[in-house]
């Protein structure tokens, strides 16, 4: 065993983050306006403006400003469930006992709202062209579970999935589609914004997203009745009465007017942030040429990503031996080869933040017994490890060989180049 030399590459004086907020000044103006006018609650001009701009940017008719994207996804599932199955009895979820098809390679916030509403997630494998839900596997899933009427699709790291194909499969089987566009705000597919293809959609203003409110999100819909219903649910489902009257379960999900001030000040900088993220991604791509690696996959003739997260995939024949359990990873260094664990350790040694690719949901302890469908039919990952020659499903394979690189839009060319040099040393 040997250790590859990195000691002559100096660490950054200040931490280089995976993705962090970028403030511009207008945010403070709108926050101060909320303070000075005393509109510090969940109503106010900032919220009204965020809903207006969010709908326009996402090519939706209506946006509902909420406390976080997960809240938006929850209300999307609730709206879709009631539309499909009717209003449930008190104490029962909108998709109680129903299977729901969900993206497999994503953060668990994409599908937790399905569980909140009593649903049973069934995970659809990933395809290699975009690292998103595989339309062929989705079609196979409908053959296995023809009763399913709801699909939740996420766009990984700001790179759109095959939306026309996914939408066509949903329409063929009479299913509604929810878009989790938390990571893909500003990305387009065939010239149209992600979030505009689903029956419902959710976007995020979390602290690490392409624009940030520190928290917050929006639900997107083209149905005014659903927008009004979501607003009502988000304010504890209060009825229109002089006193507090309640006829259904509600939630404390409304966005604060102060947070909305931050989001309002961020929106004019969305395209600027996307351009900066793209510059980082392109510099990685060009700087890593000649190595046995590739960057995030997308359909260049159809998609324009927002490049929120620069991610890298190591070629199969360039992987050293790596094994992971549920919390730790070990590897054996090899000349000319590397693995995500080695590269992430090397990046961390110079005070920069990287991260493994999202671990697929069907491999998570909480969901290992849930259904999982590949394009070949019912499937299951063989292991959480990577050993050359072992055939894994697509999501497990990308997880085994992939990693997220520091992708902050404030990174300098010198910082990106230093990280590239660290990665190159790992393959020596």
Catalytic residues: 209
The alpha carbon of 175 is separated from its chain's Cα centroid by a whole number of angstroms, namely 22
Tokens 């998103």 -> residue: 132
Query: What is the three-state SS of the chain?
Result: CCCCCCCCCCCCCCCECCCCCCCCCHHHHHHHHHHHCCCCCCCCHHHHHHHHHHHHHHCCCEEEEECEHHHHHHHHHHHHHHHHHCCCCCCCCCCCCCEEEEECCCCHHHCHHHHHCCCEEEEECECCCCCCECHHHHHHHHHHCCCCCEEEEECHHHCCCCHHHHHHHHHHCCCEEEEECCCCCCCEECCEECCCCCCEEEEECECCCCCCCECEEEEEECCHHHHHHHHHHHECCECCCCCCCECCCCCECECCHHHHHHHHHHHHHHHHHHHHHHHHHHHHHHHCCCCCEEECCCCCCCEECCCCCCEEEECHHHECEEEECCCCEEEECCCCCECHHHHHHHHHCCCECCEECCCCHHHCHHHCCCCEEECCEECCCCCCCECCCCCCCHHHHHHHHEEECCCCCCCCHHHHHHHHHHHHHHCC
The CA-based diameter of the chain, rounded to the nearest angstrom, is 75
Q: Are 109 and 215 in contact (CB under 8 A)?
A: no
**CA distance linking residue 388 with residue 291, whole number of Å:** 18
């Amino acid at each position: 065993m040997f250790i590859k030399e990195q000691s002559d590459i100096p660490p950054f004086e200040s931490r280089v983050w995976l993705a962090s907020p970028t403030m511009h000044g207008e945010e403070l103006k709108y926050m101060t306006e909320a303070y000075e006018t005393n509109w510090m609650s969940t109503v106010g001009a900032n919220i009204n403006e965020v809903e207006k701009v969010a709908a326009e940017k996402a090519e939706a008719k209506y946006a509902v400003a909420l406390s976080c994207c997960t809240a938006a996804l929850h209300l999307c599932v609730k709206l879709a469930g009631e539309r499909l199955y009717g209003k449930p009895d008190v104490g029962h979820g909108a998709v109680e006992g129903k299977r729901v098809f969900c993206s497999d390679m994503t953060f668990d916030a994409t599908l937790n709202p399905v569980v909140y509403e009593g649903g049973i997630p069934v995970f659809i494998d990933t395809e290699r062209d975009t690292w998103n839900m595989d339309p062929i596997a989705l079609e196979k899933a409908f053959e296995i579970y023809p009763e399913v009427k709801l699909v939740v699709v996420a766009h990984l790291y700001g790179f759109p999935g095959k939306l026309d194909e996914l939408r066509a499969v949903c329409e063929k089987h009479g299913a509604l589609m929810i878009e989790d566009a938390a990571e893909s705000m500003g990305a387009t597919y065939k010239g149209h914004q992600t979030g505009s293809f689903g029956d419902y959609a959710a976007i995020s203003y979390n602290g690490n997203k392409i624009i940030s409110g520190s928290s917050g999100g929006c639900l997107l819909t083209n149905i005014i009745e659903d927008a009004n219903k979501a607003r009502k649910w988000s304010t504890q489902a209060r009825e229109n009465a002089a006193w507090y009257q309640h006829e259904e379960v509600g939630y404390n999900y409304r966005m604060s007017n102060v947070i909305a001030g931050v989001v309002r000040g961020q929106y004019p900088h969305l395209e600027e942030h996307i351009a900066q993220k793209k510059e980082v991604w392109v510099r990685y791509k060009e700087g890593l040429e000649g190595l046995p690696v590739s960057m995030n996959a997308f359909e260049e003739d159809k998609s324009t990503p927002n490049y929120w997260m620069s991610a890298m995939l190591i070629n199969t024949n360039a992987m050293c031996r790596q094994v992971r359990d549920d919390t730790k990873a070990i590897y054996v260094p090899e000349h000319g080869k590397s693995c995500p664990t080695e590269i992430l350790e090397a990046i961390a040694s110079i005070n920069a933040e990287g991260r493994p690719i999202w671990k697929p949901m069907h491999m998570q302890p909480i969901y290992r017994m849930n259904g999982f469908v590949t394009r070949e039919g019912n499937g299951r990952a063989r292991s959480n490890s990577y050993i050359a020659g072992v055939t894994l499903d697509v999501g497990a394979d990308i997880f085994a060989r992939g990693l997220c690189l520091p992708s902050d839009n404030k990174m300098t060319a010198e910082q990106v180049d230093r990280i590239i040099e660290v990665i190159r040393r790992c393959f020596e």
